[in-house]
Amino acid sequence: MAWSYSRAVEYAEGKAVSQPGTQRINALMHALGDPQNRYFRVHVAGTNGKGSVSAYIAAILTAAGYKTGRFSSPAVIDRRECIAVDGECISPLEYAYCMERVASAAGEDRPTSFEAETAAALLYFAFKGCRAVVLEAGMGGKDDATNVSGAKAAAAITSISLDHTEFLGGTLEKIALAKVGIAEGGAKCYSCIQESECERVIKDYCSARGIECAFIPPLPSLGYSGGRQLAAWQGKTLSLMPGVSQPANAALALAVCKGLEEDGFFIPEGAAAAGVKSVTLPGRQELIGGELLLDGAHNPAAARELASSLEQNFPGVRKVALVGIFADKDYRGVLQATLGAMSEVFTFDWENKRALGGAKLAECASMFCKAQYIPNIKDALAAALKAAHVGMVAAYGSFSHLKLIKEAYLNLRKGAYDGR
């Protein structure tokens, strides 16, 4: 009997022993017939901005008329959002079919959850007849499951900062070396403007391997309007996702798409503008009801980006923070980067083994502004909204609790939640 969606999810979430490197994912893809070689691949890695750049590239290619797949992570609302073709998520039936194929090919050498979903996505894109696929790396780059064998059309490196240091190394140079490893194999490498030490590593890596490398400056910013960041490009005004880093992310995506013309892609200016305008991503400065902003900022660099965007886009508005962070993150750095502009911060507990306890987080947050710990996430949200009054609540610190907060907010505004 064919697998059900629930069985496929159960398999994907099953326990497997993690192995360093890409040997297992490559063996799995070979057992599946190496479907990743049936389309042009664009690989995106970096610390912050990967999701935005990947989404822009995929949307531009779709707007230009090319069937385009996109694999992204992490999921914010529904795990199926990580696998999409032309902006449409994989269906439960298709997910189940692809995951069953992955399980059959893997046999006893069970892949990790990320390896399984990467393999399922690569298989799905071949089934759908994609001309191009945009792959967003997970934590790293060179040893990431998305860095499967075979030729790539391009590699893109977004902003690099300190994160996942226990796995990638404790310096910017080590992290940059891990990220730029996706360019291995000769793909032209595009990077946003980086810190000098990161730029040097990327240049040296590409030069040693004969890889063409370009550093792309951000588009000129034109401010914020109608919930979107605006930027200038070729005499046009582009409508981007909110966030002060979006002109840099869009510039990188546009450069990658321009470079794809060497591989036979034709990207009209109108398609580029329409593509970036169409992009919205859950949990990336997502504004709901004009009073709740959801963002996955979980490291100091992303937190600084969030703080700058709030200052630029919502001047003079009372701001209250609702924060939950993993214990293995630089939570003090995240709080320090954001709470200076907040009137108050609320913390909470949520079911995740990596989560820092809300009480401890509130204790740390109290060094920067008034802090209150309310264990229940729904109660914490209700209190934050009340404290904000006619201002706004910024919920951030991790992608993993944003779904809970969004659901709680929608229920609250529908009157389903009584606040007790």
Integer distance in angstroms from the first to the last C-alpha of the chain? 46
| Paired tokens of 93 | 């039936």
55, 70 Cβ separation under 8 angstroms: yes
| Paired tokens of 174 | 């080590």
Residues of the chain with CATH 3.40.1190.10: 5-278
Q: What is the pLDDT of residues 127-179, one digit of tens each?
A: 999 999 999 998 778 899 999 999 899 999 999 986 655 556 678 898 899 89
Coil/strand/helix, residue 384: helix
Superfamily, domain 5-278? Mur-like, catalytic domain (3.40.1190.10)
Which residues have C-beta within 8 Å of that of residue 392, sequence separation ≥ 6? 290, 291, 292, 293, 314, 317, 318, 319, 320
Please report the sign of the dihedral spanned by the C-alpha atoms of residue 303, residue 308, residue 309, residue 310.
Answer: positive
The pTM of the full predicted model, rounded to 2 decimals, is 0.91
Write out the E strands in 46-174: 68-71, 83-85, 88-89, 132-136, 154-157
Residues of the chain with CATH 3.90.190.20: 286-412
Dihedral of the alpha carbons of 408, 409, 412, 416, in degrees to the nearest 10: -50
- The chain-wide mean pLDDT, for the chain, equals 93
**pLDDT value at position 167?**
58
Mean pLDDT throughout 358-375? 97
230, 223 Cβ separation under 8 angstroms: yes
**pLDDT value at position 413?**
87
- pLDDT above 60 for 307: yes
* Tokens 């893997």, residue located: 106
272, 240 Cβ separation under 8 angstroms: no
By CB atoms closer than 10 A (0-12, 13-18, 19+), residue 78 is exposed
Q: What is the pLDDT of residues 179-234, one digit of tens each?
A: 999 998 777 999 999 999 999 999 999 999 999 999 999 999 999 888 899 999 99
- pLDDT above 90 for 123: yes
d(CA 41, CA 60): 15
d(CA 343, CA 341): 7
CATH 3.90.190.20 fits 286-412, yes or no: yes
3-state DSSP percent of the chain in helix, strand and coil, to 5: 45, 20, 40
Going from the C-alpha of 210 to that of each of 3, 158, 178, 207, 261, the distances in angstroms are 46, 21, 18, 5, 20
| Paired tokens of 189 | 């490498």
pLDDT cut 90: percent of the chain above it: 81
**pLDDT value at position 20?**
80
